Structure 1
Amino acid sequence: MEPNAAFDEYERSAVAAISAAATAEQLEAARVEFLGKKQGRLKDLQKLLGQVAAEERRVIGQRFNEVKTKVESLLSSRQKELDRPKRVIAGIDITLPGRTPKIGVLHPITQTIEEFKDIMGRFGFTAVEGPEIEDEQHNFTALNIPAEHPARDPLDNFYIAAAGVSSGGPVLLRSQTSTVQIRTMERTPPPIRIVSLGRVYRPDTQDDTHSCMFHQMEGLMVDRDVTMAQLKTVLALFAKAYLGEDVKVRFRPSFFPFTEPSVEVDMLWGETWIEVGGAGMVDPNVLRAVGYDPEAVTGFAFGLGVERFCMRRHEVRNIRLFYENDARFLRQF
């Protein structure tokens, strides 16, 4: 065979064999076949050099060295590929530092709710839940809110017409978490010490501190000899536990149908007092409505705005930011 043709055929065969080698054993077999010193096809090519005319020997010798060098280089590269982990061959170098995956975080309101539960749990209160769609008995009547009270005005509540037809009476999205204390007392004898955290709904005019949907923490304690002093102590300690020892809280006399006496709870934010909830001693009529004897037990109840506490801690001035789903805002918590 003419030398150049033999070199070309040798190169094609070597490239094909080395590229097809999938294991170290197959690659070694290709090395022996094409680059073996004692036997193999390279030795045959060397014999051809001795048959070339003297004037062509220099050119043919250069071609021989080029082919040999190319096959040796390809063999070395393939050896390195087989020595590397298989996953690296697919484009993943496991020796490189990992990339921290971008994962979500709990919503700031969810974080606040969980922390509220933890704090109140240390005070001995158990977290309970109740439905967000309520009947008038639990949302109003059992809470000592009479039929003519303005709090029952359809314009101040979200009544659900279709649900009312199917249930046989008016139903609405609960306007307060106080409904849960009624349901709890109906099925649980005293003593009781609970909190309930969840969404409530009111058609309020939206502004920096008001929304049609927000979250409340309802608290209830019923036992013998429960006092207003205990209520104020619990609320003051709670505020300090969540906002720090320097928080300032005040209680203003107020009126709620379901508590007597009643107070509104304010906290100082900068130089402004902001209302964060209402509280008071459970009205005897509420205790009677659930079958408790107001002569034997007393209790206190409170309802606090979750968003406002969260806003105060994180210096968020607009409640709307919590519900605009802006990832740039939410990633800060």
Structure 2
Amino acid sequence: MSTPDDLDLAAQQTTALHALDAADSSEALEAFYRAWLSPSGATTRLKRGIGRLPAEQRAAFGKNVNALHAELETRFQQRREVIKTRELAQRIAAEARDVTLPARPRPAGAYHPVTLVMREVLDVFQRMGFSVFESPHVETDDYNFGLLNMPADHPARDMQDTFYLDHERLLRTHTSAGQIRAMRELGGNGTRPVRVVLPGLCYRNENITTRSEIQFHQVEGLLVGRSVRMSDLKGVLLQYARLLFGPEQRVRLRGSYFPFTEPSVEVDIRCTLCGGNGCRVCKQTGWLELLGAGMVHPVVLANGGYDPDEWRGFAFGMGIERTVLQRYDIHDIRYLFGNDLRLLQQFR
């Protein structure tokens, strides 16, 4: 852009306005300002040339120079707003995002199959009026064995290899360890009925195989009342089986032995794969083992604070992993603790 040296204001005005109209960016507008309006610009030099004019021309010329400077300043500000608005619109258009496009998928987690089945089992029993009772993972020998009718020399202790923390404390080997705690905390010194389920992890020092692990989940059930009978136990378990495995499900009770129940039973359900016709999973019997149960032993009731001559109860315990393996046709319990995403992603 040329800088005029003469005093022809009309020519200067025409040149300046053409230059201003040609400025189409902030950079070009800045160059116009430096050439015309800055302290070293053309209008400033015109003002400095007033002193070289005859005295009678100075006032009129100075007035015209000031008018030119004011007009260029006003036009400059207007042009700057136009360019600023246009450049903002261009930047917004260049940086725009199409909000109608679907978002990028984000990886989402899911519940573990053991958690899913555990919640479903607890929901079934809660619908039947049972409350959830949490008991400690670290138990005393008394709560885990002694108060459940398993003294130090009882042969039933040979059935469980235990993780001892010291001579008195251990990792619970079954959720049955919480039975005494539930009766003592909720039974009102043997004056109130109790109806609870006790979920949680159990620990046993076993060989890790396709069917056994050193840790596993159990759900223990306990109901204590004045007129509880074996038929009540069967009714509760039949209702549980039908709510969890289907309305046509059946149960079978077989005599068994547990030190904390008398009489004791093993409870089977119709094979969920073959419907009772016999298959390799049920070993052609048509039945699958579900859980162990029985009437609470009088010694256990007494240890819980109840008079066994007036109060009776039933208890049952089931392994959650066994239900998971049956339901989802998984043949190796180790998969449930291996954190293999190929397995876990199937349960989203």
Shift of 1:246: 3.9
Note the alpha carbon deviations across 1:268-294, whole angstroms, 9 max, x for none: 254304333210000001111122101
| Distance in 2 of aligned mates of 1:192 and 1:19 | 87
Whether 1:94 aligns to 2:99 is yes
Paired position in structure 1 for 2:227: 225
Q: Verify the 8 A CA contact 1:27 1:79 in the aligned structure 2.
A: no
Whether 1:318 aligns to 2:332 is yes
Q: Percent identity?
A: 41
SS in 2 for 1:105: coil
Whether 1:81 aligns to 2:60 is no
| Distance in 1 of aligned mates of 2:317 and 2:186 | 20
Aligned ranges for residues 152-301 of structure 1 at < 5 Å? 152-153=157-158, 156-160=161-165, 164=166, 169-189=167-187, 190-267=192-269, 268-270=271-273, 271=279, 272=282, 273-301=287-315
Q: Verify the 8 A CA contact 1:18 1:78 in the aligned structure 2.
A: no
Shift of 1:313: 1.8
Distance 1:184 1:33, change over 3 A: closer
| Distance in 2 of aligned mates of 1:124 and 1:191 | 12
Letter in 2 for 1:135: T
Note the alpha carbon deviations across 1:24-81, whole angstroms, 9 max, x for none: xx997348689xxxxxxxxxxxxxxxxxxxxxxxxxxxxxxxxxxxxxxxx9676333
Normalization by structure 1: what TM-score? 0.72
Shift of 1:94: 2.6
Q: Verify the 8 A CA contact 1:109 1:306 in the aligned structure 2.
A: yes
Whether 1:327 aligns to 2:341 is yes
Distance 1:33 1:138, change over 3 A: closer
Which of residues 98, 106, 125 is equivalent to 2:111? 106
SS in 1 for 2:346: coil
Normalization by structure 2: what TM-score? 0.70
Shift of 1:311: 1.9
Note the alpha carbon deviations across 1:248-283, whole angstroms, 9 max, x for none: 432210011100000012232543043332100000
Distance 1:77 1:178, change over 3 A: same
Quick check: which has more Rg, 1 or 2? 2
Q: Verify the 8 A CA contact 1:18 1:27 in the aligned structure 2.
A: no
Structure 1 runs of 4+ off > 6 angstroms? Answer: 9-13
SS in 2 for 1:280: strand
| Distance in 2 of aligned mates of 1:93 and 1:307 | 48
Q: Verify the 8 A CA contact 1:173 1:201 in the aligned structure 2.
A: yes
| Distance in 2 of aligned mates of 1:115 and 1:137 | 31
Letter in 2 for 1:187: E
| Distance in 1 of aligned mates of 2:306 and 2:90 | 83
Higher mean C-alpha deviation, range 230-239 or range 297-306: 230-239
Shift of 1:14: 4.1
Please provide the CA RMSD for this pair.
3.2
Higher mean C-alpha deviation, range 120-129 or range 187-196: 187-196
Note the alpha carbon deviations across 1:146-191, whole angstroms, 9 max, x for none: 211234359711111xxx2xxxx42111011011111011222230
Distance 1:206 1:78, change over 3 A: same
Whether 1:148 aligns to 2:153 is yes
SS in 1 for 2:107: coil
Q: List runs of 5+ in structure 1 lacking aligned partners.
A: 3-8, 21-25, 35-74
The count of aligned residue pairs is 272
SS in 2 for 1:180: helix
Which of residues 66, 76, 79 is equivalent to 1:29? 79
Letter in 2 for 1:94: V
